[in-house]
Structure 1
């Protein structure tokens, strides 16, 4: 069952019936106004404006197209379409008014019972004023069919609004997984809805070249396709064999690009192309091997590559000729002020031995390969600048010296942005800590596969592009920020939507609204109202912020304390224990204390009904709980779990292998002995293990159980074996060894590591909780 959304509804305090006089009073309260991002100034007055079939829009040449966005919606949902005229009647109209003295993205919105006025300097301001008006209308305005019995009223308000930052962006990676043009157009629609104005279009990476270049047809003929290994984890996919057929991929024709760019312009969105260099270009090298140092044929990789050593040769003049020709075609298609050239994660191993690169270093008087990359990027910056554009790159372009006219996109944290701004360069802040939307947004056990890090909605809302330690001069160089949606783990458009929304709502407010206007509790209420609009629009938004999570701890007496919460404040959580039905759930008010095997079930409640996913976790007491455990080989220092008590402390690890509950060994087996203190009848031992092949974590290939009365001589009680199997997801499993009941005081458990991955590296063995029954 999905979460029941809180729909945007009108509070009609005076009776209203269809066809009544326009002067009939409708009253709104502040809780009816749920605009995201929060306007700079908003004043609510009495009364409302009601749209009807006689309403007209008064628009000039520049605002006519914007007016049609809303008039066409009325045609669909109301069955009538307001006319667009050039002069205002006495009342019942929406007018676009020009004020050339305003900032280009600022607007004012004045709503009275007689008319609505949107005032702005030009196109962008008109557009954002209209998007705010759209959010004041009932959510039914987003429907795709006729809506009966809806009063199309908006509250009487005065809004003065403008953005805090000029760069409010989203990076969409279409290289790792290709998304069709129609989806890109939908993303642009939603950027405009959230008053965001930049689509950073990641068109090139190792796993696919996605833009047609007329001069180099192999870039799409070869580079746009890879061998389909979608059944395997992204980081566990083998190097494709040249005999395998490349069938997965796609690309945008130049006509597609022109359509996307034109559509974005109408939505106030600047499309910034990214053409990676000198690394993340194996798709180009697979197409034209001579672009690399070695010149050897390679395949477009089917999955993750690390380190990235197949990069452009910086010593060959032909490399720069190729890149200038590519960028020349790109700049014809994209009128953007900025051209993104990547510059990140280049492993320069081949440059160190390449005669062409070494010759370049000597001739240019460079110190090393880092300065060679600086030479590379500075040369490309001169070319981009010569075309009247601004070169943009990831913060690695700082290494070895920054090109004079470059703008830096700081992703590895805030340091790159701080340094670039101190040098007088403009920066776009997009740190992994707050802006990487390929990270999990809820507990991994309840979320689709994502990059193994955590970025919940509330943390996105904490983002601030400006660093406290920046000087006034540095702050002036901060253009804004953006979200990055890398698509290694995102194979479908539906999954892409899930990762974007509602986190994009939170980011839009951090980049548009003044800091003093932002409040998490207030935002939480407004965003939940917006979910109703998302439902009507068919957006597959994540409901992760509603997910109930548990913080569990155990004390020295083996008493477990379970604290329940959701991300949103003031949610109604109710719970039951063991086999009780949820209709008998009691309201959660304080942590639950557990001293015996217990199943905790909890749910959100709305109007006294259970909604959303039910949280359920069993805490199992067994004969080994709290007993001493001796290790033949100590765990890896990076994954100590809870130390020597970890395997018998009741608490269980999640799919997040950084959660502090797992113990791990790399390339080694695990062997432990549990001292039960007294002899007891034992019939089963279960060992909890994790598998996440992309992270090098593999299930054991064997689990053996030995029993002893004296701790010296052990007898094998049983074992299970398993063979390696491809697994594209992260999973947890209990490996159970059953045997006829025997009396023993000591239990020895041997867990055999797989040893090597299919790609040849050492495997991790992750274990948590050994259950003795």
Structure 2
């Protein structure tokens, strides 16, 4: 089972067999969970779990051969108990999410064919007798998907949500905008999607080589697309956290509306890397940001809203008379205009009952008190944020950036960054060593930056099975066992096969998974550490 449960006791004496006449008993409060289970298990197994006929009652003795779902308010949120005997399966949760996680464990106890979308055989469908008690270590167990560099259609996003839910990950952080593309409709700003969502070509391989594929790329989500994604995720207890990157990483928006910039008229960025363009400091630019954030709040019920705030070049503000004048009127330096922007964003979100979620750069100059920090520049950034009183999601690039190469094999597709193996991800601890404010580390997430992942097949290869390792990091107790995980993973890969996931095989990429025409730029660990140390020094040295 991945992730490993807190406690599991198997009984070799028997097994429960799922049959077409197996009934499902659930209270009305778990009707959605019951519907999901029937829709998930029915097609591949032929067992559609009809309700028990009266007089069987939810609170009474269940009939033999039943699956029973229950809630127990004495249990913690997201916790569950799963008991399986030869005659009965019972899943009890502290809330609906806990019951759902117990059922995901039940799916993993069934033969891998039970995870397919339709039947490939007649069974049997045995579930080993077991007693499992389980609960997560962290409440934020996430995955960031960058759909700005390469757009992923709705069907691909829904499929990823299913894979996150199977592994008990509960946050999908959608990076919706960047220099290379704007992916969300905003009322009143139609050019954001008719212009900003498209580029005529993309880089092929690492930016170092300056090679292009001359193939147009783009796409965006309508409001109804977002509503579908959010509802689908909610039914699987996954929160979709949107991110609109501001006030930097906005070249695609400025291509649509140059008047929001600082005097230039850029096109949607074709090259990877970071644009030097930023929003200007006019009231019109602020009104644009407010409209965007209100739209995002209307579409996404997430209690936190991503505002980006990373890698913002201040050069244009230093050179802009308007920006210099506004900074002077505010009594700040031009370099502090980013912190001023962040404060404006936080005020909009506070009025909507939301919190800002930003990359750790928003700490430079002081972040809003309630800001949740995505600490990507290593454990020092996470510790800095926690010691400053912020809740923190740990996502250090050296440990959880899944665009980094998976081995030293030159056949790895577009090998960039440092080597990051399954074992490296498994060894990650979200809590920095020596930190006393450990309760402020609310979890961790893996980040899938898609410059070098043009489609869902490429995302599969880079995400799995490393995302399986991250799932255990954020769910299971810190005293994890790599040998045990490796053994569990061998079995788990058969489940990924059944789900159609094109993961990286233990012995390396298959020929169709390589990209020899897209050259990479592998770094040594020492080179990457030096880069991150330089970036972190700016944060740690900021007053």
Q: CA deviation at 1:78?
A: 3.4
Instruction: Output the CA distance in 2 between the equivalents of 1:121 and 1:422.
Output: 31
Q: CA deviation at 1:305?
A: 3.8
Instruction: Output the CA distance in 2 between the equivalents of 1:522 and 1:110.
Output: 22
Distance 1:238 1:150, change over 3 A: closer
Contact 1:309 1:349 in 2 (8 A): yes
Instruction: Output the CA distance in 1 between the equivalents of 2:169 and 2:287.
Output: 35
Q: CA deviation at 1:658?
A: 4.6
Give the aligned length: 511
After the TM superposition, which residues 176-215 of structure 1 pair with which residues of structure 2 at under 5 Å, given as runs?
Answer: 176-215=149-188
SS in 2 for 1:257: helix
Q: Give TM-score scaled by structure 2 length.
A: 0.90
Q: Name which one, 1 or 2, has greater alpha-carbon Rg.
A: 1
Q: CA deviation at 1:348?
A: 0.6
After the TM superposition, which residues 497-536 of structure 1 pair with which residues of structure 2 at under 5 Å, given as runs?
Answer: 497-516=460-479, 518-536=480-498
Match of 2:346 in 1: 381
Instruction: Output the CA distance in 1 between the equivalents of 2:389 and 2:241.
Output: 22
Q: Does 1:345 align with 2:311?
A: yes
CA-to-aligned-CA distance 1:574-607 (integer Å, 9 cap, x gap): xxxxxxxxxxxxxxxxxxxxxxxxxxxxxxxxxx
CA-to-aligned-CA distance 1:42-92 (integer Å, 9 cap, x gap): 111232111112211101223233233333344323334221345464311
SS in 2 for 1:83: coil
Distance 1:83 1:402, change over 3 A: same
Residue in structure 2 matching 1:414, options 370, 379, 392: 379
Q: CA deviation at 1:447?
A: 1.0
Q: As a proportion of its length, which structure holds more strand?
A: 1
Instruction: Output the CA distance in 1 between the equivalents of 2:204 and 2:452.
Output: 12
Residue in structure 2 matching 1:278, options 247, 250, 253: 247
Distance 1:428 1:157, change over 3 A: same
Q: CA deviation at 1:524?
A: 0.4
Instruction: Output the CA distance in 1 between the equivalents of 2:316 and 2:524.
Output: 38
Q: Does 1:81 align with 2:48?
A: yes
Instruction: Output the CA distance in 2 between the equivalents of 1:338 and 1:162.
Output: 23
Instruction: Output the CA distance in 2 between the equivalents of 1:141 and 1:463.
Output: 32
Instruction: Output the CA distance in 1 between the equivalents of 2:208 and 2:222.
Output: 29
Instruction: Output the CA distance in 2 between the equivalents of 1:440 and 1:383.
Output: 39
Match of 2:271 in 1: 303
After the TM superposition, which residues 540-579 of structure 1 pair with which residues of structure 2 at under 5 Å, given as runs?
Answer: 540-543=502-505, 545-547=506-508
Instruction: Output the CA distance in 1 between the equivalents of 2:524 and 2:165.
Output: 38
SS in 2 for 1:64: helix
Instruction: Output the CA distance in 2 between the equivalents of 1:213 and 1:268.
Output: 27
Please provide the CA RMSD for this pair.
2.2
CA-to-aligned-CA distance 1:224-266 (integer Å, 9 cap, x gap): 00112455754555899xxx9x942010111100000000000
Structure 1 gap segments, 5+ residues each: 1-34, 549-611, 614-653, 661-773
Q: Does 1:125 align with 2:84?
A: no
Instruction: Output the CA distance in 2 between the equivalents of 1:431 and 1:159.
Output: 32
Instruction: Output the CA distance in 1 between the equivalents of 2:451 and 2:400.
Output: 16
After the TM superposition, which residues 657-676 of structure 1 pair with which residues of structure 2 at under 5 Å, given as runs?
Answer: 658=523
Contact 1:168 1:197 in 2 (8 A): yes
Q: Does 1:93 align with 2:66?
A: yes
Distance 1:226 1:658, change over 3 A: closer
Instruction: Output the CA distance in 1 between the equivalents of 2:93 and 2:63.
Output: 22
CA-to-aligned-CA distance 1:301-327 (integer Å, 9 cap, x gap): 112244x311111x3111111100111
Contact 1:184 1:260 in 2 (8 A): yes
Contact 2:206 2:520 in 1 (8 A): no
CA-to-aligned-CA distance 1:442-473 (integer Å, 9 cap, x gap): 224121114332111100001111112111xx
Contact 2:44 2:120 in 1 (8 A): yes
Instruction: Output the CA distance in 2 between the equivalents of 1:155 and 1:264.
Output: 29
Instruction: Output the CA distance in 2 between the equivalents of 1:80 and 1:408.
Output: 45
Residue in structure 2 matching 1:218, options 174, 188, 191: 191
Match of 1:58 in 2: 25
After the TM superposition, which residues 135-534 of structure 1 pair with which residues of structure 2 at under 5 Å, given as runs?
Answer: 135-148=108-121, 150-229=123-202, 233-237=206-210, 247-294=216-263, 296-306=264-274, 308-313=275-280, 315-366=281-332, 368-471=333-436, 474-516=437-479, 518-534=480-496
Instruction: Output the CA distance in 1 between the equivalents of 2:273 and 2:523.
Output: 23
Q: As a proportion of its length, which structure holds more helix?
A: 2
Q: CA deviation at 1:98?
A: 1.4
Instruction: Output the CA distance in 1 between the equivalents of 2:307 and 2:385.
Output: 17
Contact 1:227 1:302 in 2 (8 A): yes
Structure 2 gap segments, 5+ residues each: 512-518, 526-543
Distance 1:231 1:423, change over 3 A: closer
Instruction: Output the CA distance in 1 between the equivalents of 2:246 and 2:46.
Output: 52
Distance 1:496 1:239, change over 3 A: closer
CA-to-aligned-CA distance 1:87-111 (integer Å, 9 cap, x gap): 4643111111111121121111111
Contact 1:444 1:656 in 2 (8 A): no
Contact 2:41 2:115 in 1 (8 A): no
Which one is further off, 166-175 or 74-83?
Answer: 74-83
Contact 1:177 1:491 in 2 (8 A): yes
SS in 2 for 1:510: helix
Instruction: Output the CA distance in 1 between the equivalents of 2:164 and 2:41.
Output: 21
Match of 1:67 in 2: 34
Contact 2:203 2:272 in 1 (8 A): no
Distance 1:236 1:214, change over 3 A: farther
